[in-house]
Amino acid sequence: MAVRNSIVYSRRAGIFTAIGFGLGVLVHVTYTIFGISAIIAKSILLFNIIKWAGAVYLVYIGIQALRSKGMGQAAVENATSEAPPSASLPDFKALWSGFLTNALNPKATLFFLAIFSQIISPSTPFIWQAIYGLTCAVMAILWFSLVSLVLSQGTVKAFFLRATKWIDRVCGALLITLGIKVALTSAK
């Protein structure tokens, strides 16, 4: 999502998507710190609700990507020119897409439960738990912002824009596959 928003829209859209990812991480960190992830891991109904919401969202954005017609040559030239892009993604919409992509990822529940159970014990002070969680969110924001900065450079962006139809198709197929895999995931 950050790659797509950086290339198709702008560096700014990619960075706001990265911030959305970080906010999604904070959702996972918050319920992990308060032990909700253990409850979700034990509650088959709650796990399935989260799993299906994430799977539906992944399949939805995958279908949208498969339906993409890519960008024509005029759009490539417009996007790589010095002028601001004609197609823009509002900051909130970019942030929201990053947030939903991360927050609705049911595997993140198990990921954060696994990670935090290794570094946090019941005796770990809350401040350190919060610092660990904020570190995870900041690292996600920084990493995907860096990806956005690199991919929004002129020559890199031009290469990707010329291949957007196929990149969207490959990403769409991968997202649908991931959505199906998420849907078939069982709580272990």
Instruction: Please give the structure tokens belonging to residue 51.
Output: 């799993």
The mean pLDDT value for 141-161 works out to: 87
The mean pLDDT value for 152-161 works out to: 81
Q: Is the pLDDT of residue 82 over 60?
A: no
pLDDT-derived band at 80 (thresholds 50, 70, 90) equals low
Q: Model pTM?
A: 0.68
- Domain range summary for the chain, segments of one domain joined by +: 2-184
Number of other residues whose CB lies within 10 A of the CB of residue 186 = 8
Query: Percentage of residues in the chain with pLDDT exceeding 70?
Result: 84
Q: Is the pLDDT of residue 71 over 90?
A: no
Q: Is the pLDDT of residue 146 over 90?
A: yes
Quickly list DSSP for 99-163. Answer: HHHHHT-HHHHHHHHHHHHHH--TTS-HHHHHHHHHHHHHHHHHHHHHHHHHHTSHHHHHHHHHT
Q: Is the pLDDT of residue 21 over 70?
A: yes
